[in-house]
Structure 1
Amino acid sequence: MTGRPANVPEDLPLARGHLLLVGTGSFSVTLLPTWALLLRRWYGTTVRACLTWSATRLVAPDALAAATRSPVAGPGFGTGAGTVEHQELALWADLVVVAPATAAFVGKCAHGISDSLALSVVTSTTAPVVIAPAFAEAASGKPSVRRNVALLAEDGYTVVGPRDGTSVHTDQVGPGAMADLGAILRAARDLL
């Protein structure tokens, strides 16, 4: 397929073509509808999405549903379809990409606290998980945040470190911005 930037891998070898995007409440979550469209176009991937409560304040679930061509899971648990939703998503996914991952999500995930649908999916899946943190500049340097990121890596999650970016709050460039889609996809391809 054409139109792919040079830093984006040519292939993404998913066994069944299933990719789950998990979005949390960082401003970068607004990129997910566009990313879903690109993933479908570039790789022919079936994309589903799961959002946390805070993510739904920043990106419209209806926009993400249109981009994925699938209902968005979350933010709450639902068994109305006759399934245990976090288990169904965990088994469905060939790859889970958490982008962006807030410090709260990273901390809870690092300590096995699965008190939301998104966290329950990530901690329940046997599929590879790529986590792309997006932190406020001050949070990026906190020892507790760094320890949590290190714990995720120790536990087998692939963490794609943040990069410099423009703060929504200060308009200043600094560390903590979510990695770009190319870096995330390269890390994912290396896992698969």
Structure 2
Amino acid sequence: MDRGNVLLIGTGSLSVSLFPNWALLLQRWYDVSLRVCLSEAAAKLVSVDAISAVTKTPVWTGTLSNPGCIPHKELGTWADLVVVAPATASFVGRCAHGISNDLPASVVMSTDAPVVIAPAFSEQALRKRSVQRNLELLEEDGYVVVPSRIGTCAHTGEDSPGAMADLGTILHASVSALKRAPRRQSS
């Protein structure tokens, strides 16, 4: 990466609860600068304070914490890589259709950095043709979509398709995305 800046975006799936541990691992393994942006729903599922303590930076949410900047531009320009994990069906649908009505989607729409999206859907959502079409649209538009896997459903406790990929798989996809991306000019 040019500057080693990774933006981790989380949306409202229970998998976002992994962020504090992921942040520790990413910083230790790769010595990256890490920022985190959460949707409003995600901020209810994970401790913003824990993430901030690990990353030593404020967590960006839907609120404007610094009136002197435009958050989606600040984050989009700063990032060398954007990883959206977990990405809900709602988030995927909005990005596939260019709807940027919250901070995470606005960042994805405004960055020139490679974007890796790791969906986390219910089995029922995953079967919907509209959801499959949205994933295809994202891939056609150049986003890297990491396939979901079989995992334990928080609702039923049973194994089902649609779980977010594991961190290793997401990192492998991220490396591939960085290799394919045109080299960015340092600012």
TM-score > 0.5, shorter chain as reference: yes
Say whether residues 1:149 and 2:123 are aligned partners. no
In structure 1, the residue corresponding to 2:83 is in which secondary structure? strand
Within-5 A mapping of 1:25-104? 25-80=12-67, 82-104=68-90
Cα deviations across residues 29-84 of structure 1 (Å, max 9, x unaligned)?
A: 0001110110000010010000000001100111111121110011234442x111
- 2:167 aligns with 181
In structure 1, the residue corresponding to 2:85 is in which secondary structure? strand
Structure 1, unmatched stretches of 5+, are: 1-13
Amino acid at match of 2:5: H
Amino acid at match of 1:166: T
Cα distance in 1 for partners of 2:175, 2:97 equals 26
Cα distance in 1 for partners of 2:142, 2:64 equals 26
Instruction: Identify if the C-alpha distance between structure 1 residues 87 and 146 changes in structure 2 by more than 3 Å, giving closer, same or farther.
Output: same
Cα distance in 1 for partners of 2:169, 2:154 equals 22
- 1:5 aligns with none
- 1:10 aligns with none
Within-5 A mapping of 1:1-40? 14-40=1-27
- 1:172 aligns with 158
Cα distance in 1 for partners of 2:64, 2:96 equals 21
Question: What is the TM-score when the length of structure 1 is the normalising length?
Answer: 0.91
Using the aligned pairs only, state the percent identity: 58
- Residues 43 and 61, structure 2, Cα contact 8 Å, conserved in 1: no
Cα distance in 2 for partners of 1:141, 1:67 equals 37
- Residues 53 and 75, structure 1, Cα contact 8 Å, conserved in 2: yes
Cα distance in 2 for partners of 1:191, 1:101 equals 17
- Residues 24 and 100, structure 1, Cα contact 8 Å, conserved in 2: yes
Cα deviations across residues 84-136 of structure 1 (Å, max 9, x unaligned)?
A: 11101000000000000000000000000000011000110000000000001
- 2:146 aligns with 160
Cα RMSD (Å) = 0.8
Structure 2, unmatched stretches of 5+, are: 179-187
Runs of 4 or more above 4 Å deviation: none
- Residues 166 and 177, structure 1, Cα contact 8 Å, conserved in 2: yes
Cα distance in 2 for partners of 1:28, 1:18 equals 22
Please, which moves more after superposition, 95-104 or 57-66? 57-66
Amino acid at match of 1:130: V
